[in-house]
Chain A
Amino acid sequence: MSGMVEKRGIGTWLTHMSLIAGIAAICFPIYLAFVASTVTQQEIARPPMPLLPGPHFLENYGTALSQGINSPVWLMLMNSSVMALGIAIGKIAISILSAYAIVYFRFPFRMVFFWLIFLTLMLPVEVRIVPTYEVAAGFGMLNSYSGLILPLIASATATFLFRQFFLTVPDELIEAARVDGAGPIRFFVDILLPMSRTNIAALFVILFIYGWNQYLWPLLITTKPEMNTIVMGIKQMFPSGDDVAEWPVIMATALMAMLPPVAVVVFMQGLFVKGLVDTEK
C-alpha cells in the first residue's frame, strides 16, 4: 500500500494541517458543550464564556441524570434506548423476512408486493404523520413503547437492501442446501442468516441511529413526561417565558444523549469490518 501516492515535505504537512483543521472545526463545539456542562449557570451567563472545564462535572451530570428538568435523564435515555433498539431490531427482522419471501418464493403478485413496498420509500414519516397518528391513537398506543416503535418499524430501504444481497447469493448454494435436505426455514436460519451478518450489522448501526434521532414522532405520540425520549427531551428543557435556562444541565444531557449512538458505531464498526473480511460468497 505504501508508496502508492507518496508525498514528501510540504505535501505531508499540508495534508495533515487541513485534516487537523477539519477535525478541530467539528470537535470545538462539542468541546465547548463539555466545558459548559462542567461549570455553573452564572459562569456561562457572564461573558466571556470559559474555555477550560470547571469543577462541577459530577454535580451537573448527577442533577441531569436523577432530576433533569421535566423528567430525569436516565428515564429518557432508557425510553430512547428501548425505542431505538425496537425500531432497529424490528426493522431488520421484518425486512429480512419480507426480502426472503420476495426473492425465494414464487407466490402470486410477488412483484406487485415488491413494488408496493418500494413505493413506501417515497412516503417518509413526516408525509404520513397525520393518518399514522390517527391510527396509533385509535389503537390506544399513545404514551406507550408500542406507539413509539410500531409505526416506524416497516422499512422499504432495508427490504430492498436484503433483496439485493440475496440476489447475489449463488443459486448453487440453495440447491446444495436442498440436496442436503434443508427446507426453507433451515436454509434461512442455517445459511442465509449467517451469511447476512455483515449487512445486518451495517443496517443495525444505521437504523439504531435513525431510531435514536426520531424527534417529530415521539413529540406527537408521547404527552406524559415519563415517556419522553432524550432527543425531544432536550428541546423541552429549553425555558419557556421568563424561566432561567439551566445550561449546564442541558449541556450535560446533550452530551449524554450523544453517547449511545457513538457507542453503537464504535462497537459495531469492529463487527462490521470483521464481517466484511470474513464473508465470501
Chain B
Amino acid sequence: MAQIAFSNLRKSYGKTEVIHGVDTHIEDGELIVIVGPSGCGKSTLLRMVAGLETVTSGEIRIDDRVVNKLEPRERDIAMVFQNYALYPHMSVFDNMAYGLKIAKVPQAEIRERVAVAAKMLELEPFLERKPRQLSGGQRQRVAMGRAIVRKPAVFLFDEPLSNLDAKLRVQMRVEIKTLQRRLGVTSLYVTHDQVEAMTLADRIIVMNGGVAEQIGTPLAVYEKPATTFVGGFIGSPPMNFLSVERLQGSGLAASFGEAAPALAKTVGVRPEHLSFCGEGQAAWSGELVIVEALGAETLAHVRLDDGEVIIVRLDGGRTAPVGESRVHVTCEADKLHFFGADEKRID
C-alpha cells in the first residue's frame, strides 16, 4: 500500500530527452494505466519507477521516500514483464519463491505465501512444472504470482497481456482488475491498448511524445479529451476531426457556427454522436464508401465532399442507408469538441 508521486520527472538518453517532465500523484490502492503509442515513453516511465532506468532529473516518491537512487529491491515493488521473464530452469514454485528466498524469508512462510498465491491464481496443479510446460495464460499467472507473493507496496505491469490471444486477453484483464481490487495494492499498468486502459484504470495517463497529455478517469478522458491526440487515441473507432471552417460553411451554420469558440481550429466528434439525416438538417454531406456491420454496431465510412473520411457509428440493428450514394450527416451541437491551433481543448 503506497502513494506514488512524480515531480517534474525527466529522462534523457545522451542529449535526447524522451520524457519531458511528468507530474502526478497516485493515491493508495489506485490502478493507474499509462497508455500511449509505441515510443511515447510509457515503458520508460514505468521502468524508472522500477529502478531499471535511472532518473535524469525530478523525483519519484513512494510513500514520501525519494527512491531515485534506490536499487529495485529496495523500492518495495514487484513487476510483471511483457514476456513474463520466468526463470526457465526453475519450477513454478521456485519461480514464485525466488524473491522471498533472496529476502531470507523462512521456508515455512515461503511455502505458505506461495500456496496462497497459487490458490488465488488457480496454479496449484502446476507448482512442480517448468514454465515451458505451461500455456501463455498460465505463464502470465505465474508472473503475477511472483509479484503477489512478495506483498509489495506497488505493482508494476509492463504490457503484461500483449502476448496473449484476444480472448485470453479479455479474460486476464478481468482477472487482473479483480485481483488488484482484492489486494488493494497501488498499481501502475502500461499498455498501448486503449480498450485495456479504459476497462482497467481508475485513472488513465495518456502519454504522447514523452508528455503526459491528460490524466483523469477513463470517462473524463473519453468525454473531455484534453488534446486532439487524446481524442484520437482513446475510443475505437477514433474521434472524427474536421476543420471549423467546414462546419461554418455547412447548412447548419447558424446553430453550429455559434457554438464554436473564437479560437477554435478543429472540431472533433465521436462516431456514435453522428447520425444520418435528411438533406435539410445536414451538417456534412458526402458519399458512403463502406459499411462495416460488426453485429452490435455498424460503422459507416463517409467520404465528405473535400475528400476527408469520417466514421459514423450506428446501432447494430439499424442499417446504413445502403444504396443511396449520397448521404447527409448531422449531430447535436453539445456533442462537439473544439480544439485550438495548439491542438488543446477549448471549452
Residues of A near any B CB (own CB < 8 A):
170, 172-173, 175-182, 186, 190-191, 194-195, 278-281
| Interface set, chain B 121-171, CB cutoff 8 A to A | 130-132, 146, 150
Specify which chain B residues have a CB less than 8 angstroms from the CB of A173 in the assembled complex.
85, 87
Q: With a CB–CB cut-off of 8 A, which chain B residues contact A191?
A: 87, 89
Choice from B52, B81, B83, B99 contacting A181 with Cβ under 8 Å: B99
Q: Does B79 contact A (CB under 8 A)?
A: yes
Q: Once the chains are docked, how many angstroms separate the CA of A170 from the CA of B50?
A: 18
Whole-angstrom distance between the alpha carbons of A175 and B103 in the complex?
Answer: 17
Give the Cβ gap from B65 to chain A, nearest Cβ, in Å.
Answer: 17
The CA-CA distance from A278 to B90 in the complex, in Å, is 11
Complex A-B: 17 CB contacts under 8 Å: A175-B50, A175-B79, A175-B85, A176-B146, A178-B52, A179-B51, A179-B78, A180-B150, A181-B102, A191-B87, A195-B88, A278-B89, A278-B130, A279-B89, A280-B131, A280-B132, A281-B88
Please state if A280 and B50 are interface contacts (CB–CB under 8 Å): no
* Residue in contact with B89 in the complex, picked from A172, A177, A179, A195, CB distance below 8 Å: A195
Cβ contact within 8 Å between A179 and B102: no
CA distance in complex: A178, B102 (Å):
11
Contact A176 B102 (CB under 8 A): no
Whole-angstrom CA separation of A178 from B72 in the bound complex: 6
List residues of chain B with CB within 8 A of the CB of A280: 88, 131-132
Are B82 and A178 within 8 A (Cβ)?
A: no
Residues of A near B102 (CB, < 8 A) are 180-182, 186
The residue on A at minimum CB distance from B102 is A181
Asked if B88 and A176 sit within 8 Å, CB to CB, the answer is no
CB closest residue in chain A, given B47: A175
Nearest chain B residue, comparing its CB with the CB of A174: B85
- Interface residues of B, CB < 8 Å — how many? 26
B299 shortest CB reach to chain A, Å? 38
Q: Is the CB of B82 within 8 A of A180?
A: no
> Among A170, A180, A279, which residue has its beta carbon within 8 angstroms of that of B73?
A180
Whole-angstrom distance from the CB of B211 to the nearest CB of chain A?
25
Q: Is B72 a contact of A179 with CB atoms below 8 Å? A: yes
Closest Cβ neighbor of A197 among chain B residues? B89
**5 interchain residue pairs of minimum CB distance:** A181-B73, A180-B99, A172-B85, A176-B85, A194-B89
Residue B331 is within 8 A (CB to CB) of chain A in the complex: no
Q: In the complex, what's the smallest C-beta–C-beta distance from A70 to chain B, in angstroms?
A: 48
| Interface residues, chain B, with chain A CB atoms under 8 Å away | 50-52, 71-73, 77-79, 81-83, 85-89, 98-99, 102-103, 130-132, 146, 150
Cβ-defined partner of B98 (8 Å) among A172, A190, A194, A195: A190
Question: A residues within 8 A CB of B132?
Answer: 280
In the complex formed, the residue of A with least CB distance to B52 is: A175
Assess whether A172 is in contact with B81, with CB atoms less than 8 Å apart: yes
Q: Name the CB-closest residue of A to B94.
A: A190
Q: Tell me, rounded to whole Å, the shortest Cβ–Cβ distance linking A128 to chain B.
A: 39
Residue among A175, A179, A190, A280 with the highest chain B CB neighbour number at 10 A: A179
Q: Select B82's contact among A172, A190, A195, beta carbons within 8 Å.
A: A172
The smallest beta-carbon distance between B58 and chain A, in angstroms, is 22
Least CB distance from A216 to B in Å reads 40
Further pairs besides A178-B72, A186-B102: 5, Cβ < 8 Å: A173-B87, A175-B72, A179-B52, A179-B78, A278-B130
Q: Which residues of B contact A278 (CB under 8 A)?
A: 89, 130
Which chain A residue has the least Cβ–Cβ distance from B99? A180
In angstroms, how far is the closest chain A Cβ from the Cβ of B139? 11
Contacts of B82 in A (CB 8 A): 172
How far, in angstroms, from A278 to B131 measured CA to CA in the complex? Answer: 11
Q: How far is the CA of A280 from the CA of B146 in the complex (A)?
A: 19
Q: Do B85 and A170 touch (CB < 8 A)?
A: yes
- Assembly CA distance A177 to B95 (angstroms): 10
User: What is the chain A residue whose CB lies nearest that of B158?
Assistant: A172
B128 CB to closest chain A CB (Å) equals 15
The reply to whether A170 and B77 form a contact with Cβ atoms under 8 Å apart is no
CA distance A219 to B88 in the complex (A): 46
